[in-house]
Structure 1
Amino acid sequence: MGQVEFELACAAVKELKGPVSDGEKLLVYSYYKQATLGDCNIPAPPATDVKAKAKWEAWTKNKGMTKMDAMRIYVTKVEELKKKEEG
């Protein structure tokens, strides 16, 4: 598992057509951010910005995770979503 698999998963996630829950979207987002940028490096948004706050919290939960581990989990989660879509 490496950069190539991660990049393929990044492309595949954009092609998903089936229903993806908000929770699944947040999970995929959080691992993508951790894999590409590392630990969350932005201040928490105001509680009134519900969407931004949810994204920030999801990413922050991955604090301390290596970029490689985040890539692996991201690829695995995208594969699960693809299988779910296929039925």
Structure 2
Amino acid sequence: MGLKEEFQEHAEKARTLPNTTTNESLLIIYGLYKQATVGPINTSRPGIFNQRDRAKWDAWKAVESKSQEEAMSDYIAKIKQLLEEAAAAE
């Protein structure tokens, strides 16, 4: 299985993460997903009154130096880690 196929598979698995997944973890996978699918950030930072979008923008900005392949690999690893943690907590 190629990297892109594995990435798509884990993107589907990400939808099954439990509601107890921390916002910090969700922001990390959001940033990695955007970097892997879009590439370097291409929008301006949202204003101070839009905290949710601002946090998402910051998460994407934090990983903008990664290549799309690196971001895919890191995304897959993070999803695996979160799914293992969720299974252990059950």
- If the TM-score is normalised by the length of the shorter chain, which range does it land in? over 0.9
Give percent identity, aligned residues only: 26
User: Does residue 84 of the first structure (1) align with residue 85 of the second (2)?
Assistant: yes
Q: How does 1:1-87 map onto structure 2 within 5 Å?
A: 2-17=3-18, 19-87=20-88
After TM superposition, the score normalised by the length of structure 2 is 0.92
**Does the aligned pair in 2 maintain the 1:34–1:67 contact within 8 Å?**
yes
Instruction: Extract structure 1 runs of 4+ deviating beyond 4 A.
Output: none
Task: Tell me the CA shift for residue 18 of structure 1.
Answer: 5.0
RMSD across aligned C-alpha pairs, in angstroms? 1.0
Give the gaps of 5 or more residues in structure 2: none
Task: Tell me the CA shift for residue 62 of structure 1.
Answer: 1.1
Task: Tell me the CA shift for residue 17 of structure 1.
Answer: 2.3
Give the gaps of 5 or more residues in structure 1: none
Task: Tell me the CA shift for residue 64 of structure 1.
Answer: 2.2
Task: Tell me the CA shift for residue 26 of structure 1.
Answer: 0.1
Task: Tell me the CA shift for residue 40 of structure 1.
Answer: 0.5
Deviations 1:6-31 (A, max 9, x none): 00100000012251000000000000
